[in-house]
């Protein structure tokens, strides 16, 4: 009994140490990741139409999280207009015969409509207030003090010009970048492979960076923005993404292996570097607002935006790489 208790205590201490190094509840994070992977794979197995629906759902949830986050800092974004414009943009990008033109026109129209809508501050009643209070309750006082806005509540208000600027940033951050995911499904007849590479490789890169940083991380990458990021974690991100790219490439393009062997190497470096940059940008945004996580929808991961930030930022680079190399 004593040996068993000692073993259990040692296991708990080890798990607690891992959670501390990674900044996550790892059992919850792994369980959530498995469920998400199963959902995405199931949607891809059914049809691309279902995957597009899933992409829109994730985008809608991410926009709501940003709505709450910016409201904490006293800034307003017109989330309903963003939902409508973003959905239309993604559907038009994928289903229109002129994919790039449809995406460009929809994004430009979205910017105009969202900018106009941002000048009006519509109320969401108790729901938004409850979300803000919940987010503030989860945020420690130190994070609030480091915020550029440093508000204890969401009572502060900024000018309408600030709301317009933040709303336009949101259009460029979510629907525009998400459109590149939809665009990657439209060429060369490898939609499933493209979806897997664009969605799963950044996630695999994050996993590699997480474990490499937890076990070997000694040299801080950007201690002011994200204290847990390390140079070793960045190297782990690149290597994991590169290994995953080689596996997907070998399974999907066996006839092109001899002539395109260098593509997974470029993909791994791109995803590792750009994905880490995306994480740092999101961390800087959270630090500026004064919050720990973008949301709380995914247990062990925080919010949807906490999981898709690297996917969004790497999407245009991966889409360009796949298109230029003829894959």
Helix, strand and coil content of the chain, in percent to the nearest 5, comes to 75, 5, 20
DSSP labels for 232-270? HHHHHHHHHHHHHHHHHHHHH-GGGTTTSTTHHHHHHHH
pLDDT of residue 160: 76
Mean pLDDT score of the chain: 80
**191-216 and 26-46 helices cross at what angle (nearest 10)?**
170
* Cα gap 210→316, rounded to integer Å: 24
For the stretch 19-54, pLDDT in tens is: 555 555 666 767 777 888 899 999 999 999 999 999
| pTM for the whole structure | 0.82
pLDDT of residue 10: 59
Residue 137, pLDDT > 70, answer no
Q: What percent of the chain has pLDDT over 90?
A: 42
Q: Which residues contact 195 (CB under 8 A, 6 or more apart)?
A: 44, 48, 51, 181, 184, 185
Asked if 291 and 141 touch (Cβ cutoff 8 Å), the reply is: no
């Amino acid at each position: 009994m004593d040996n068993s208790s000692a073993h259990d205590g040692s296991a708990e201490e080890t798990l607690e140490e891992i959670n501390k190094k990674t900044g996550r509840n790892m059992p919850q994070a792994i369980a959530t990741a498995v469920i998400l992977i199963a959902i995405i794979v199931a949607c891809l197995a059914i049809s691309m139409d279902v995957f597009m629906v899933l992409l829109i759902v994730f985008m809608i949830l991410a926009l709501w999280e940003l709505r709450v986050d910016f409201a904490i800092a006293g800034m307003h974004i017109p989330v309903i207009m963003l939902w409508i414009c973003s959905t239309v943009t993604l559907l038009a990008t994928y289903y229109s015969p002129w994919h790039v033109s449809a995406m460009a026109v929809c994004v430009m129209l979205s910017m105009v409509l969202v900018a106009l809508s941002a000048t009006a501050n519509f109320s969401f009643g108790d729901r938004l207030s409850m979300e803000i209070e919940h987010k503030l309750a989860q945020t420690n006082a130190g994070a609030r003090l480091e915020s550029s806005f440093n508000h204890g509540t969401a009572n502060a208000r900024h000018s309408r010009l600030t709301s317009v600027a933040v709303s336009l940033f949101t259009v460029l951050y979510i629907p525009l970048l998400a459109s590149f995911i939809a665009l990657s499904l439209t060429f060369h007849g490898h939609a499933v492979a493209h979806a897997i590479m664009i969605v799963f490789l950044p996630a695999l890169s994050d996993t590699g960076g997480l474990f490499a940083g937890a076990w070997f991380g000694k040299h801080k990458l950007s201690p002011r923005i994200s204290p847990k990021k390390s140079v070793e974690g960045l190297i782990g991100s690149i290597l994991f993404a590169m290994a995953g790219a080689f596996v997907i490439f070998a399974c999907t393009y066996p006839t092109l292996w001899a002539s395109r062997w260098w593509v997974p190497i470029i993909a791994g470096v791109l995803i590792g570097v750009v994905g880490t940059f995306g994480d740092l940008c999101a961390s800087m945004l959270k630090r500026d607002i004064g919050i720990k996580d973008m949301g709380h929808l995914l247990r062990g991961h925080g919010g949807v935006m906490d999981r898709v930030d690297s996917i969004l930022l790497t999407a245009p680079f991966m889409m360009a790489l796949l298109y230029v190399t003829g894959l």
